[in-house]
Amino acid sequence: MHLRTMILANVLMGRNHQIPIALESFCRRFLAKEPALKRLEMTKQDKVLFPTMVSRSNALKLNNWISKRKRTAGIMAPPDLESFFDKIDEGEDWESTVPKLVLNQLGLQAYHQGGTRPPAPVSRPRESPAPSPAAADAGTVGSNARSRLNNTKFDPIFQRFKELSGISCSDLRKKIAAEKIPALPVSKVDGGPMCLAWHVRAECNQVCGRKCDHVEYASTEYTDLLTWCDANFKRE
């Protein structure tokens, strides 16, 4: 699959473009390491999903890179596909989870529960609304408090943004729409923007247009969003 993408990228972008170069380099390293890669144990899902996981992870990385490329003037580092191998070599967490939604789209429903991890709940528990200081300025909380959804898997790396008053997610989204600040990083679920309120404020609502992104992320998957927040999640 990568080889095919690489050939296509070569044809479309020319040999010297950063994307085909990154893909070629990834493929070369993948082929060289193939026997060792085949021996790797997957802990989060069935091993059969290894190629799906790698393809999806690289597709997301390239997607992110292209969207950054569009809003970055001048020289930019090439897409980093090879950190995957570095993580394996360094004993870091290299395994990303293929979400249920993607498995469904690929007709791989049978692998929902293939991993050793207990199956994820079908839907997040809806908690009764509790008064919260963040609620008043979360922006996405509808007037109907019953529509609120709490992110019970909130990652405390966003705590300082969650507590930041005087700024709302809707303000930030307006700034994005006006191109005053860059777009949000891409969701691992469908390639659309991540839901800022869900991940950073730990609550959103039933009618959120990005509800499909209300899923659990590993801390390592939050790198781009954290960088985005550091740069843009602030008052004027």
The residues that touch Zn ion, with contacts defined as CB under 5 A, are 195, 198, 204, 208, 210
Cβ of residue 45: shortest distance to Zn ion, in angstroms? 25
Cβ of residue 218: shortest distance to Zn ion, in angstroms? 19
Cβ of residue 97: shortest distance to Zn ion, in angstroms? 20
DSSP state of 152: T
Q: Where are the alpha helices (DSSP H) in 72-184?
A: 83-89, 100-105, 159-162, 169-177
Phi–psi pair at 231, nearest 5 degrees: -85, -30
Q: How many CB atoms are closer than 10 A to CB 117? A: 11
Cβ of residue 149: shortest distance to Zn ion, in angstroms? 7
What's the number of CA atoms in the CB half-sphere (13 Å) around residue 84?
27
The whole-angstrom separation of Cα 27 and Cα 29 is 5
